[in-house]
Structure 1
Amino acid sequence: MPNPIHELLAQKGVLLADGATGTSLFAMGLTSGEAPELWNDNAPEKIVTLHQGFVDAGADIILTNSFGGTRHRLKLHHAQDRVHELNRKAAEIARSVADRADRKVIVAGSVGPTGELLEPLGALTHDEAVAAFAEQIEGLKAGGAEVAWIETMSAPGEIRAAAEAAVRVGLPYVYTGSFDTAGRTMMGLAPRDIHSVVDGLAPPVAVGANCGVGASDILASLLDMSEAKSDAIIVVKGNCGIPEFRGTEIAYSGTPELMARYACMAFDAGASIIGGCCGTSCEHLRAMRDALDHYVRGGERPDVDEIVTSIGPLRNKQANQSGAIEGASRRERRRARH
């Protein structure tokens, strides 16, 4: 399969992925409980503005507005019969912006979790999950997405199902976990184990982490991932600091200066694709672009103490301080509450 990410990495050495889709769309008027994917049809001009802002800020990769684009998520908005249409439109909008840029910009089709639990914890079978992801990725491919970007994942089985779907459809793929539970994903996956999730399938273009807690925590996860497989192409898209209430509004504590430092530390820690997740605006992304463009890599990997000194304290335990048993107990408590 053609691999635009490897080609662009060979030219540039490090790539800048885009920033926060959800945070940006809420700022444009998206309301809580509204499906962002419906804006691909109802308000495409706002999605164009979103992508154009990130391209103007220097992004090499933009993610389509399709995170919740499986039938399982869209059924919450009575749109489960519009999977192909909404994902195709998401990719077409991003493609239109990328094609106008004065440089190569990669369109990555965002694929988020289904929101369902796979067997044996839930009712969704592996084959059903693969079919749902394939339906979504078919739409993204039809609209011009060049890679499937499987993100914010927690369950290894769901990552594998989405990866299998991407291979079936014929798109190269990236996948990232969200290490938000004591340094692991909610389903107990440790950062250093991210590489082996799709063993036996066509290999991914890149793997990594996104979202989670704050920038310091994702950098700690990055150290584990790059130590486990030093030759891997690793993605990090960290949150812009920590969410906090300012009056009645939620804002993120990260400044452009902090995100610039995060980007450079991520590069030193082994990431080749660096972006932002929740709270990361075009202003933050522009600072990251400028920092990476002028940064001379020192060759020394930072350690956790250096990350804390430069970026701020960890908000969570590290993965080596927690375990799958602890994660399983937490999941059982959560299930008991619902």
Structure 2
Amino acid sequence: MTTEPTFTILDGGMGRLLERLGAPFRLPEWSALSLIEAPEYVSRAHQAYVDSGTDIITTNSYGLVPHMLGEDRFAAHGRTLADRAGRLAREVADGAGRRVLVAGSLPPLFESYRPERFQAGEAPRIIESLVEGLRPHVDLWLIETQSSTVEALTSLAAVIGDGKPVYVSYTLKDEDGRTGPPELRSGEPVEDAVRRTLAAGASSVFFNCSQPEVMSDAVRAARKVVNEVPGAISIGVYANAFAPEPPSDTPYAGISEIRADLDPENYLKWIERWLADGASVVGGCCGIGPEHIEAIRAFREKATAG
């Protein structure tokens, strides 16, 4: 006897997987370079995650912002590249032979981990290009790696009316030895951020692009708020596999080293903890690859088989 899966599996990181596959790769374009020069590698990366057992693949649109593409290239090709990212993910999902959803990635519009660089006046033109390119191809929106509620809710407002579920994912303060209640990188308490995000209409609240060690406290804080709100609201987690780094004045100055203690077996231990804390969607961010997702899938199969 087999029961229904008790949790949903999100895919892993895109940039490092593209590099491993031999795709064109350099900074500051990061994962966007493959989309521009060799989109077949993007399809291969999506397929690797589908083959590993993911339920949701995420569009390769994280790098489609002016500070990574350059202002001129974004203005000329941003929407077209977003459309390409959506089409590639849709094609792989539709060919999976099972139900695989496509999440439209809406990234930090100015720079990851730097909430102080958010520009409210410039944000609408950037988010519009991404949304218009991705919208025809995605099943849901994933507003990810958000450092503050103001940047997250700006993107949320751009998509809340189109009928698709909207998942908002925050990145957390995660420096070594950190203590105290969980906070966004802006310093906002997680509990307050979750409450504001759900009040604005988000379908789910996730935490990503942070160390595994800080995720449980965030999940428990989110669960406290979710328990006060009617309706089915999921909590998700997809953590990084690299050590925490201080913000740099040079965006994406280098590629971080992967932690040796976050191989698939050890990462799965964190997954089990987050599920016990109340998460119902789990996957991986930077440095987490198909082999990690395969381990999560095998764990779920074992857990649901009777």
TM-score over 0.5 (shorter chain) = yes
Match of 2:258 in 1: 251
C-alpha contact (below 8 Å) 2:110/2:118 kept by paired residues: no
Deviations 1:70-106 (A, max 9, x none): 3454335733321210011001001111011121000
Counterpart AA for 1:93:
L
The C-alpha deviation readout for 1:206-231, integer Å capped at 9, x for no partner, is 11200112x12212321222133236
Q: Distance in 2 between matches of 1:48 and 1:266?
A: 30
1:168/1:38 CA distance change after superposition, 3 Å:
farther
The whole-number CA distance in structure 2 between the counterparts of 1:41 and 1:234 is 33
In structure 2, give the amino acid aligned to 1:91: G
SS at match of 1:108: strand
**1:263-299: CA deviation from partner (whole Å, max 9, x where unpaired):** 2221111111100111111111101111122237xxx
Q: Secondary structure at the match of 2:207?
A: strand
| 1:270 paired residue number | 278
Distance, in Å, in 2 between the alignment partners of 1:74 and 1:32 is: 10
Q: How far did residue 200 of structure 1 move?
A: 5.1
1:129 aligns with 2:128: no
Partner of 1:138: 132
Q: Which residue does the alignment assign to 2:208?
A: 210
C-alpha spacing 1:130/1:239, structure 2 compared with 1 (3 Å) = same
Tell me if structure 2 keeps the 8 A contact 1:260–1:287.
Answer: yes
Q: Distance in 1 between matches of 2:235 and 2:49?
A: 21
The answer to whether the 8 Å contact 2:140/2:164 transfers is yes
CA contact (8 A) 1:238 1:277 kept: yes
Report the Cα distance in structure 2 between the residues aligned to 1:280 and 1:243, rounded to whole angstroms: 15
* Structure 2 residue identity aligned to 1:220: D
Distance 2:125 2:238 in 1: 27
**Structure 2 equivalent of residue 305 of structure 1:** none
Runs of 4 or more above 4 Å deviation: 120-123
TM-score (norm 2): 0.82
Contact 1:236 1:273 in 2 (8 A): yes
Query: Would you say the 8 A contact 2:242–2:258 is kept in 1?
Result: no
- Paired residue secondary structure (1:198): helix
Give the SS at the match of 2:129.
Answer: helix
With the length of structure 1 as denominator, give the TM-score of the two structures.
0.74
Match of 2:235 in 1: 234
* Corresponding position of 1:198: 197
The 5 A counterparts of 1:290-305 are 290-295=298-303
Of 170, 182, 186, the residue aligned with 1:177 is 170
In the superposition, relative to structure 1, how do residues 208 and 193 fare at CA in structure 2: closer, same or farther (>3 Å)? farther
Equivalence for 1:224: 221
2:65 touches 2:74 (CA, 8 Å); kept in 1?
no
Q: Which amino acid aligns with 2:48?
A: G
- Measured after TM superposition, the shift of residue 173 of structure 1 is 1.1
Distance 1:44 1:123, change over 3 A: closer
> What corresponds to 1:166 in structure 2?
159
Does the CA contact (< 8 Å) of 1:84 and 1:136 recur in 2?
yes
Correspondence for 2:63? 68
Q: What residue ranges of structure 1 are gaps of 5+ in the alignment?
A: 1-9, 297-338
Distance in 1 of aligned mates of 2:70 and 2:9 = 33
Deviation track 1:155-208 (CA, whole Å, cap 9, x = no partner) reads 21110100001125553311111002554222112222232233653x222112
Aligned position for 1:56:
51
Q: Distance in 1 between matches of 2:189 and 2:133?
A: 31
Structure 2 Cα separation of the partners of residues 280 and 171 of structure 1: 27
Q: Give 3-state SS (helix, strand or coil) of 2:44's partner.
A: helix
Rounded Cα–Cα distance in structure 2 between residues aligned with 1:200 and 1:192? 12
> CA 1:241–1:122 in structure 2 vs 1: closer, same or farther (change >3 Å)?
closer
Q: Report the residue type matching 1:86 in the other structure.
A: L
Deviation at 1:122, TM superposition (A): 5.7
Structure 1 residue corresponding to 2:146, chosen from 143, 149, 153: 153
1:35–1:233 distance in 2 versus 1, CA, 3 Å? same
Q: Which has the higher contact order (CA 8 A, sep 6+)?
A: 2
Mapped contact 2:198–2:204 kept (Cα < 8 A): no
Question: Aligned AA for 2:259?
Answer: Y
Equivalents in 2 of 1:152, 1:199: separation in Å? Answer: 17
Paired residues, what number?
Answer: 278
AA aligned opposite 1:221: A
Give the share of equivalent positions with the same residue, in percent. Answer: 28
The equivalences for 1:323-338 within 5 A come to none
**Structure 1 SS opposite 2:258:** strand
- Unaligned residue ranges in structure 2 (runs of 5+): 246-254
Deviation at 1:121, TM superposition (A): 5.7
Q: CA deviation at 1:251?
A: 2.4
Contact 1:264–1:291 (CA under 8 A) maintained in structure 2: no
Deviation at 1:113, TM superposition (A): 0.5
